[in-house]
Structure 1
Amino acid sequence: MAFISLDQMTEILEELVDELPQRLFDGLNQGIIIKEEAKLHAQSKPERPLYILGEYTRSKLGKQILIYYGSFKQTHGHLSQENIKDKLRDTLRHEFRHHWEYLAGEQDLAYLDDEFLRKYIFGTER
C-alpha cells in the first residue's frame, strides 16, 4: 500500500483543523505548516529511530505548529488513510496542547514528553 501524498495529507490536515474551535488558534500567528521532510529527534538512535511527527515552536517571529510529512511516512507508512488521519489528529491536538499550556504558563505535557524521551533513551518506553 502506497503512503498518502503530501497533497492528500494537507487536505486531511485542513479537515482536522476545521474540527477545532477557532479560539484554539489564538496566539498561533504563524499557523500550522506541513514540512515535507522527516525529522529525527536529536537523541534518536540508529537502531531505533525516533522521528518527530510534529512540534510547537516559538520564536521572535511568533508561534507555529509544524507537521512532518516525511516522519509520518517513515513511522506510519503501513497504515490506512483513516488510521493516518487518526494519528495526524492525535499529533495536531498534542501540539495544540503545548501551545495552550505555554500560554497558560504550564508545562505538564513538556514533562510527559521528557519522561517519554528518558524511557526511549534507556530502552524502557514500552
Structure 2
Amino acid sequence: MFIDRIDEFEEILEELCSEIPEELFQSLNGGVIIEEEVMYHPMSKKDDIICLGAYKRDMLGNSIIMYYGSFMEMYWDKPGDEFKELIKHTLYHEFTHHLEYLSGERGLEIKDEEELERYIRRENE
C-alpha cells in the first residue's frame, strides 16, 4: 500500500507548470488536469502498461492529464527529487505532444506507436 502524496504531487506539478513559458500553453484550453486513478493502456495485455500522462484532444479542447494513481502505483516510494523528475519527464512528454500537434508534427506520436508495436510483438511471441 502506498502513502498519500497528492498534495506533494499537486505542488510539484504547479511548480513545474509555472516554469513553462506561458506561450507554450497556447491552445491548451483544458489545462493540466490531475486524475486520481491508475490508467492502464487499452492495449495492455496484463495491466502491464501504466499510463502516467496523456495529451487529450476532444470537442471540449486540448488538455494534459497527469494520472496521480499511476504515479503512486509505480513510484510511491521515490524520494522527493526523484519523484519530481519523474513528474517533470511525463509533463514535458505530454507538452511535446501538444506542441507537435500545434505545429503539425507527429515525431513523438510515431515513437510512442513504435514502442507499443514492439510491446505487442513481444506479447504475441
- Partner of 1:63, secondary structure, is strand
Residue in structure 1 matched with residue 48 of structure 2 by the alignment: 49
- Partner of 2:122, secondary structure, is coil
Residue in structure 1 matched with residue 29 of structure 2 by the alignment: 29
Kindly tell me the number of residue pairs found equivalent between the two proteins: 123
Residue in structure 1 matched with residue 78 of structure 2 by the alignment: 79
- Partner of 2:105, secondary structure, is coil
Letter in 2 for 1:110: E
Letter in 2 for 1:34: I
Percent identity, aligned pairs only? 43
- Partner of 2:50, secondary structure, is coil
Q: Kindly report which structure 2 residues correspond to 1:57-72, keeping only aligned pairs within 5 A, or say none.
A: 57-72=56-71
1 or 2, which has the higher strand percentage? 2
Once the 2 structures are TM-superposed, how far is the Cα of residue 82 of structure 1 from its aligned partner?
1.2
- Partner of 1:58, secondary structure, is strand
Residue in structure 1 matched with residue 112 of structure 2 by the alignment: 113
- Partner of 2:66, secondary structure, is strand
8 Å contact kept, 1:29–1:64: yes
Residue in structure 2 matched with residue 122 of structure 1 by the alignment: 121
Once the 2 structures are TM-superposed, how far is the Cα of residue 76 of structure 1 from its aligned partner?
1.4
Once the 2 structures are TM-superposed, how far is the Cα of residue 78 of structure 1 from its aligned partner?
2.7
- Partner of 1:122, secondary structure, is helix
Gaps of 5+ in 2: none
C-alpha RMSD over aligned residues: 1.7
Once the 2 structures are TM-superposed, how far is the Cα of residue 123 of structure 1 from its aligned partner?
3.0
TM-score, normalised to structure 2's length?
Answer: 0.91
TM-score, normalised to structure 1's length?
Answer: 0.90
